[in-house]
Chains A and B, each alone.
Chain A
Amino acid sequence: MSTNASLETIVVANRQASSTTWMWWKEIRQLLPLAVLLLVVACLIIVLNAIVSSLLGSRRFALPDEMLMLVFPGLFATGAGPLLVGQERASRTLDWLALLPISSKRLITTKLLVGLSGLGVMWIAAAVMITFFSGTRGWHFGGPNLYSGSLFSYPVWIAHSVFVLVAGFFVSWKIRSQFYSLVALVPIAFAPLVCTSVLAAIQGRRFLADEVDSWALVFTAIGLAIVFPWMIRAAMRTLSPTAAPRSFTLLDQPRRRHSSSVMATAPRFSTQLAPLIWQSLNASVGTW
């Protein structure tokens, strides 16, 4: 009975829902664990802050709530691409998805839009939490001061998180290994901030000195303008037929035909510990 009910529910849902709805449902469902995890951790930190503040009567040892504005949406932006693209590539579900009558463009757009919507939700959630726990105290356009005296500059961080999200999609489409794609994301993500700080050092001013550091915004916008078309190109290439390896020269032929023996290539160990260490090291390299 439950079997029939389950399929009937799907049949009814299918009559009403378009393929776009189903695709959004699938992508959101894949992204949900990350979003929920980050929101739960953010809530826990805020509650912990509130408890510590009330106990000590001071916010001196508490993590500033505004930090969440930077950290959690930023973490979401970092993880969205690897989750929606990298994981699908690793588990080969992307190949199965590519067999369905969906254009590559639609697939890429849906994934990116779901990622951007998720990021929007994360920013809204962060803003709501800060307002709830801190009131409107200290709110202003650029954000409050950090311990260093620099500004949080909300517009810069929001723009930067969008850039990180797109960069995350780019590295996930470009690089099959999830680990390598995350490694590649780090320098790309920090590039606009590094450029801003270098420029600030040249100009002899403090990094993010103004409420809205226009140079940080400019560098982030430039980064976005560069990474976005790269992301589209990498995605289209991934979803297109894999190109055949380039042709080989005649010099390669003997090597390709030659079959090496196990005796010649097998590693040899003199102790029982050595193969365990060798295996651990090589497994790590293989994963990377």
Chain B
Amino acid sequence: MEPVIVTDSLTMNFRRCDALRGVSLEIRPGTVFALLGENGAGKTTLIRILTGFQKPSSGTCSVGGIDPTLRPGEVRRQIGYVSDSPALYDWMTVAQIGGFTASFYGPDFLSHYDEAIRRYEIQPEQKIRHLSKGQRAKVALSLALSHDPPLLIMDEPTSGLDPKVRRSFLESMIDRAATGRTVFLSSHQINEVERVADTIAILHQGRIRLHGSLTEIRESIHELVVDVDDPLRAVPAPPEPAELLMEENSGRSKQYFIRGLEGDMIESYRDMPGVTSVRTRVATLEEIFVACTSDAPALV
């Protein structure tokens, strides 16, 4: 199957910062893809490029086989997009903005929108300006989903939603992916992502630190704790092909987050002079995220 989104060495340099530094990604159809990153990591810039609002400094990308920098209109026809702070016409009512948007799409749009608005228990005659932040987010989501786009792109979609709605919304994303549609969401809510995403990428300072299936990533990264008899005793980094993501020292205990840790490496740590004990466990996604977004050591 052809990837829905492909980016190749995307870079975006602004006057005072480099927002993206060689981002290469491939997102398969029928998946929930989560882009994780801290604030300012470059997530929104990447989404702006993918939705045709921004041209990159260099590199290429395609969405559904179309270059959004050359044909933004065609890309936007294929997608539903929800920004983190959706700007809607606040003088319109919920029903009017639905009617207005529906006029550009097929005949089913309004019935889908109607269903969504009823589900969220929003009064259609309410003006947008009188809605709470969460209700606005619900209206924006309903508008983005009602034409049933093959690709849904969302920037921090659940900010402002209450836990109950957040849960049902995230579950609906899994249902969408099951029907062959693709969901691209950017977030820093690790728990949410862990529940719904098939594939993740961690973006840190404009670079992709990790990209792959959530299950594979979870299984491939371990926490290794090495206790030594002397706090000053040096313990070498694991040999290749293992990759050291993060290292922390706390007295006689040294903690490592390692990708590709193998059984014989653990044995070799146990045999090292001065090592009193060695413990390992699979890292949580939150720990992986923290490890990947810490500055040292760099992961290539």
| Chain A residues packing against B (C-beta within 8 Å) | 2-3, 6-7, 9-11, 13-14, 17-19, 21-22, 25-26, 29-30, 91-93, 95-96, 98-104, 240-245, 247-248, 256
Residues of A within 8 A of B99 (CB): 10-11, 13-14, 17, 22
Q: How far is the CB of B152 from chain A (nearest CB, A)?
A: 12
Instruction: Name, among A3, A18, A256, the residue most crowded by chain B CB atoms within 10 Å (CB to CB).
Output: A3
Least CB separation from A95: chain B residue? B87
Residues of B within 8 A of A3 (CB): 123-125
CA distance A151 to B7 in the complex (A): 64
Asked whether, in the complex, the Cβ of A96 is within 8 Å of the Cβ of B88, the reply is: yes
Q: Is B101 interfacial (CB 8 A cutoff)?
A: yes
Residues of B within 8 A of A100 (CB): 76, 101, 104
Asked whether, in the complex, the Cβ of A2 is within 8 Å of the Cβ of B13, the reply is: no
Contact partner of B55 among A17, A93, A241, A248, CB < 8 A?
A241
Q: Is B68 interfacial (CB 8 A cutoff)?
A: yes
Given contacts A19-B103, A101-B76, contact A244 B87 (CB under 8 A): no
Asked whether, in the complex, the Cβ of B73 is within 8 Å of the Cβ of A104, the reply is: yes
Asked whether, in the complex, the Cβ of A95 is within 8 Å of the Cβ of B125, the reply is: no
Q: Is B89 interfacial (CB 8 A cutoff)?
A: yes
Q: How far is the CB of B142 from chain A (nearest CB, A)?
A: 12
Q: Is B69 interfacial (CB 8 A cutoff)?
A: yes
CA distance A103 to B76 in the complex (A): 11
CA distance A26 to B81 in the complex (A): 21
Residues of B within 8 A of A96 (CB): 86-88
Asked whether, in the complex, the Cβ of A10 is within 8 Å of the Cβ of B95, the reply is: yes
Extra pairs beyond A29-B91, A240-B72 (13, CB < 8 Å): A7-B95, A10-B124, A21-B103, A26-B100, A100-B104, A103-B73, A241-B69, A241-B72, A242-B55, A243-B55, A244-B56, A245-B15, A256-B15
Instruction: Give a binary string over B279-295; 1 marks a CB under 8 Å from any A CB, 0 the rest.
Output: 00000000000000000
Q: How far is the CB of B13 from chain A (nearest CB, A)?
A: 7
Q: Is the interface of A mostly helix, strand, loop or mixed?
A: helix
CA distance A103 to B72 in the complex (A): 10
Q: How far is the CB of B145 from chain A (nearest CB, A)?
A: 13
Asked whether, in the complex, the Cβ of B100 is within 8 Å of the Cβ of A241, the reply is: no
Least CB separation from A26: chain B residue? B100
Given contacts A7-B95, A96-B87, A241-B52, contact A247 B57 (CB under 8 A): yes
Given contacts A6-B93, A7-B95, A93-B88, contact A244 B54 (CB under 8 A): yes
CA distance A183 to B202 in the complex (A): 45
Q: Is B110 interfacial (CB 8 A cutoff)?
A: yes
Asked whether, in the complex, the Cβ of B101 is within 8 Å of the Cβ of A242, the reply is: no
Instruction: Give a binary string over B127-157; 1 marks a CB under 8 Å from any A CB, 0 the rest.
Output: 0000000000000000000000000000000
Contact partner of B124 among A7, A14, A29, CB < 8 A?
A7
Asked whether, in the complex, the Cβ of B13 is within 8 Å of the Cβ of A248, the reply is: yes
Residues of A within 8 A of B105 (CB): 101
Number of chain B interface residues as a range = 35 or more
Q: Is B12 interfacial (CB 8 A cutoff)?
A: yes
Asked whether, in the complex, the Cβ of A10 is within 8 Å of the Cβ of B96, the reply is: yes
Contact partner of A256 among B17, B72, B86, B90, CB < 8 A?
B17
Q: Is B203 interfacial (CB 8 A cutoff)?
A: no
CA distance A13 to B102 in the complex (A): 11
Asked whether, in the complex, the Cβ of B124 is within 8 Å of the Cβ of A99, the reply is: no
Residues of B within 8 A of A9 (CB): 95
CA distance A100 to B14 in the complex (A): 28
Residues of B within 8 A of A243 (CB): 55
Residues of B within 8 A of A10 (CB): 95-96, 98-99, 110, 124
Asked whether, in the complex, the Cβ of A101 is within 8 Å of the Cβ of B104, the reply is: yes
Q: Could you list 26 A-B pairs, sorted by A, with CB under 8 Å?
A: A2-B125, A3-B125, A6-B93, A6-B125, A7-B114, A7-B117, A11-B99, A13-B99, A14-B102, A17-B99, A22-B100, A25-B100, A26-B89, A26-B100, A30-B91, A95-B87, A96-B87, A98-B72, A99-B76, A101-B73, A241-B68, A242-B55, A244-B12, A244-B55, A244-B57, A245-B13
Residues of B within 8 A of A25 (CB): 100
Q: How far is the CB of B111 from chain A (nearest CB, A)?
A: 8
Residues of B within 8 A of A29 (CB): 91
Residues of A within 8 A of B111 (CB): 11
Q: Is B77 interfacial (CB 8 A cutoff)?
A: yes
Contact partner of A14 among B52, B87, B110, CB < 8 A?
B110
Q: Is B51 interfacial (CB 8 A cutoff)?
A: yes
Q: How far is the CB of B124 from chain A (nearest CB, A)?
A: 5
Q: How far is the CB of A114 from chain B (nearest CB, A)?
A: 15
Residues of B within 8 A of A92 (CB): 87
Q: Is B119 interfacial (CB 8 A cutoff)?
A: no
Asked whether, in the complex, the Cβ of A101 is within 8 Å of the Cβ of B53, the reply is: no
Asked whether, in the complex, the Cβ of B124 is within 8 Å of the Cβ of A6, the reply is: yes
Within 8 A of A (CB), among B67-89: 68-69, 72-73, 76-77, 81, 83, 86-89
Residues of A within 8 A of B12 (CB): 244
